[in-house]
Structure 1
Amino acid sequence: MRVKKKQAIVLIFLTGCMLLGYWLWLSLRTVEIVAVHEDGNHASVLVKAFPVTDKGKISWWLKNKDMIKDKYNIPKLSSSGNFTIVFWDFGDGYKEEGKYDRRCFSDMKTKANCIAKNRVFSVETGRGSDILFTVSDAIYIMKKNGELIKNKYK
């Protein structure tokens, strides 16, 4: 009986270590920006290895927004000062339009100009100078003073 308890404890410990290792690997991957497609003050950024957590996504944006502005010249503000950037998981790459729900880019003159619609994050302007961060189940509002407020979807 004691041997089975020890085996169960070792199995639980090893499983925990494997899960922790996988979580660390996910959180330490470098985000790769594959492409940027623009349509006025809207931009679609295709990414690989985007952070998994809400905090990781927002932190990544805050750390990299200046680099994105310098390298890709986004966000571009509308005449009213608004912008939207949507980050899409590049997944299996570009595909033809097909019969499935896909996001297609008219700035590409090839048949394979679509991706699977898997939005992982978006950043846009809100009322006044608020910045809105949209994740899968919530919208975070960053006030001008840096305060971050989470609003869950109902």
Structure 2
Amino acid sequence: MRKSKKIICILALAGLVLLGYFFWRSLQPVEIVAVHQRNNFSDVLVNNFPFTDKGKVNWWLDNKDKLKEKYDIPKPASYGLFTIVIWKFGEGYKYAGKYDRMCFEDMKEKRNCIDKNVLFIISNDKDDDMFFVGDNGTYRMGKDGEIVKIRRE
């Protein structure tokens, strides 16, 4: 009986440490490391991005004006559509050598690639509705500001 109490205490302590880590991480500000532009596609490299889809959408809504002002994104095509991909910067720029890396041609350095780790995608459609693609689904925000998860059939 005593052994099971020790196991429960160890698991509870591990759970508290994990919960503390996630709480601490949630308080860290998002760091925008770089922005790369390809026509109407913007690639934003970040560290400390929110974990949840709701947190990611809220981050976009809270920061879209700052991104427009500081980085001039989104940059819609002549027909009005744009896509912003938020990438995890992680360990920094790397050489192209490895399979499945995203490389940025606007950089002259040979270390101009990152490991492909998409965190979030923001785009619009011809009706100017916004779409958000996160880990747990795709969401649509209409002109009324209501955000609805799109059900897949």
Match of 2:117 in 1: 118
Unmatched tracts of structure 1, length 5 or more: none
Distance 1:5 1:99, change over 3 A: closer
Q: Tell me the CA shift for residue 5 of structure 1.
A: 5.0
Q: Does 1:96 align with 2:95?
A: yes
Match of 1:129 in 2: 128
Secondary structure (helix, strand or coil) at the match of 2:85 reads strand
Once the two structures are aligned, what percentage of the paired residues are identical? 52
Aligned length: 153
* Amino acid in the other structure paired with 1:40: N
Match of 1:63 in 2: 62
Distance 1:51 1:121 in 2: 10
Distance 1:89 1:5 in 2: 41
* Amino acid in the other structure paired with 1:77: P
Secondary structure (helix, strand or coil) at the match of 1:123 reads strand
Residue 137 of structure 1 contacts residue 153 of structure 1 at CA under 8 Å; is this kept in 2?
A: no
Q: Tell me the CA shift for residue 149 of structure 1.
A: 1.2
Distance 1:99 1:18 in 2: 35
Distance 1:124 1:36 in 2: 16
Q: Tell me the CA shift for residue 6 of structure 1.
A: 4.1
Unmatched tracts of structure 2, length 5 or more: none
CA RMSD between the two structures: 1.7
Secondary structure (helix, strand or coil) at the match of 1:66 reads helix
Q: TM-score, normalised by structure 1?
A: 0.90
Q: Does 1:79 align with 2:58?
A: no
Distance 1:153 1:94, change over 3 A: farther
Q: TM-score, normalised by structure 2?
A: 0.91
Residue 139 of structure 1 contacts residue 151 of structure 1 at CA under 8 Å; is this kept in 2?
A: yes
Match of 2:24 in 1: 25
Distance 1:17 1:99 in 2: 38
Secondary structure (helix, strand or coil) at the match of 2:69 reads helix
